[in-house]
Amino acid sequence: MIEFYFATGNEHKVAEANAVLSPHKIKVKKLEGIEKLEIQHTNLEEIAKTALTLIVPNTDKLVLVEDSGLFVHELNGFPGPYSSYVFETLGVDGILKLLNDSKSRKAEFRSSVSFGTKGKIFATFSSVSEGTLTTQAKGDNGFGFDPIFVPMWASKTFGQMDLNEKIVYSHRSKALKKLALWYLNAAKTNTLEENAIVVSQAPQNK
């Protein structure tokens, strides 16, 4: 079993990553002892990469960082990269109120996963899950905006799905699958570092 370490404070993300990556013989553990710092930016990839940049100089573990958000079409993409803060302040009900009179209830979840180790960022993958927002919260599973999001081709919210159903549709599972397929191939062909971005170098002995 290969071990990846997920730098996150969100246990749901770790559980989702394990559900997606265990068929690929990858075990995901929460990275302990190194703080994850999140910059403000409009681009999720930049947020994930920058968070990883601050972690990889201090570890020899294979680390992944994920940044995600809910982008509501009628609200011009709000809350997007600010989803975590908006969930804490306005919550699910706040988003439903903002959408009260809207014609469109289209929304999408986006996810960016950045991966690296030992002062290098190896790769970053992004994915989207398109769907619609309900008029009321349904289901207690998952976290965040799960109770109001129905992914395209489904008839219930993420909040009404168990984890194995959610990962059929979720933005995070799609990005993690890209990571797994890339990693397994790159490890086999010895090309993990082919496009690596070096963020810190080991001190040189003089």
Residues at the interface with ligand ITT (CB under 6 A): 8-10, 13, 36, 38, 66-70, 83-84, 87, 109, 142-146, 158, 170, 172
Smallest distance, Å, CB 99 to ligand ITT?
A: 16
Q: How near is the Cβ of 206 to ligand ITT at its closest, in Å?
A: 40
Smaller CB distance to ligand ITT: residue 10 or 43?
10
**Cβ at position 111, least distance to ligand ITT in Å:** 7
DSSP string, 78-90: -BGGGHHHHHHHT
Nearer to ligand ITT, 43 or 186 (CB): 43
User: Phi and psi dihedrals of 61, rounded to 5?
Assistant: -85, 155
Q: Which residue is nearest to ligand ITT (CB)?
A: 144
Helices (H), ranges, the chain:
11-21, 44-53, 83-89, 91-98, 163-169, 171-188
Whole-angstrom Cα distance, residue 149 to residue 130? 9
Angle made by CA atoms 153, 157, 159, in degrees to the nearest 5? 145
**Cβ 44 vs Cβ 20: under 8 Å:** no
Shorter beta-carbon distance to ligand ITT: residue 91 or 196: 91
Asked about 162 being catalytic, the answer comes back as no
- Active centre residues (catalytic): 67
